[in-house]
């Protein structure tokens, strides 16, 4: 643990084991790489959630330009494979000016560096953020349309503004209805973080994710039946944590409803995805 527990973030031994690799070293290093998978998943879900809400509102906007922009974004990222999105994003970031982009604001000139976009911690996170926002937007849009009209009309009759209606009536009901499906999207996103290894984003100083180290050990030991099941075991544990968090949160969202009407999150294996 002291040598390889935080190896994925640059703390510990600089060189990876090459001979006489033990099971303990494989479990610790792969677990260390899981830090990056958690990093991608947590930040993409955290920021993608709010962007998905904005996309859902944009798709129901009165302005045609806003509806077209939101619908086009969702169609683009839902209609193309995630791996292809990684590939095109990396190629696009590489083509950005390496010296940066100069932004002239009149009184102030800002030189924005673009080199960090080609790093996995930023570029891959951006792709995952856009992808989960597009899928989550579809979930939230369906939930918004399922909000009872009677509650909205009652809020209007009581004199609430549009923002108050959304904050006090539509948003809580949307979360309650969308939470079970959103849990499945969160699980799918965390599993999708393993695709970063196959994308063009390089692992700097051998600081990769869980699948990066699993592939390394499979190559060195010529035995893929040890490291890859370890990765699967870690992700199963991570999935159980996600289910627990969403179940507790879902119970809080449904606390005002009778028990027989509460929508409980149910985990479904999305093998087809």
Single pTM value for the model? 0.87
pLDDT of residue 79: 93
Instruction: Output the six-digit token pair for 269.
Output: 């294996």
Element (H, E) at 102: strand 101-104
pLDDT of residue 36: 94
- In angstroms, rounded to a whole number, what is the distance separating the alpha carbons of residues 104 and 205? 36
Nearest to 126 by CA among 93, 78, 81, 80: 93
Domains of the chain (ranges, CATH numbers): 7-261 (1.10.3720.10)
Rg over CA atoms, the chain: 22
pLDDT of residue 12: 86
pLDDT of residue 129: 97
SS3 category, 101? strand
From first to last of the 273 residues of the chain, give the pLDDT tens digit: 888 889 888 888 888 898 889 999 999 999 999 999 999 999 999 999 999 999 999 998 889 999 999 999 999 999 999 999 999 998 888 877 665 666 666 655 555 666 777 888 889 999 999 999 999 999 999 999 999 889 899 999 988 998 999 999 999 999 999 999 999 999 999 999 999 988 878 777 778 899 999 999 999 999 999 999 999 999 999 999 999 999 999 888 887 766 656 555 555 544 444
pLDDT of residue 271: 43
């Amino acid at each position: 643990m002291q040598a390889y527990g935080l190896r994925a973030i640059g703390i510990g031994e600089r060189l990876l084991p090459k001979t006489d690799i033990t099971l303990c070293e494989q479990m610790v290093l792969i677990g260390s790489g899981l830090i990056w998978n958690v990093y991608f998943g947590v930040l993409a879900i955290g920021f993608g959630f709010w962007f998905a809400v904005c996309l859902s509102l944009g798709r129901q906007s009165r302005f045609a330009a806003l509806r077209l922009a939101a619908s086009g974004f969702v169609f683009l990222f839902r209609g193309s494979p995630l791996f292809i999105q990684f590939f095109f994003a990396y190629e696009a970031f590489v083509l950005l000016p390496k010296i940066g982009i100069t932004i002239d604001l009149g009184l102030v000139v800002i030189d924005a560096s673009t080199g960090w976009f080609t790093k996995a911690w930023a570029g891959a996170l951006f792709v995952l953020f856009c992808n989960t926002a597009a899928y989550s937007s579809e979930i939230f849009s369906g939930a918004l349309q399922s909000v009872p009209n009677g509650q909205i009309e009652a809020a209007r009759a009581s004199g609430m503004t549009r923002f108050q209606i959304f904050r006090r009536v539509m948003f809580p009901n949307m979360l309650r209805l969308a939470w079970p499906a959103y849990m499945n999207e969160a699980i799918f996103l965390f599993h999708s973080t393993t695709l970063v290894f196959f994308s063009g984003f390089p692992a700097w100083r051998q600081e990769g994710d869980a699948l990066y180290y699993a592939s390394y050990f499979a190559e060195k030991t010529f035995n893929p039946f040890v490291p890859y099941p370890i990765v699967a075991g870690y992700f199963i544990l991570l999935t159980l944590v996600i289910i627990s968090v969403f179940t507790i949160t879902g119970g809080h969202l449904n606390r005002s409803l009778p028990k027989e009407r509460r929508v409980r999150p149910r985990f479904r294996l999305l093998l087809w995805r």
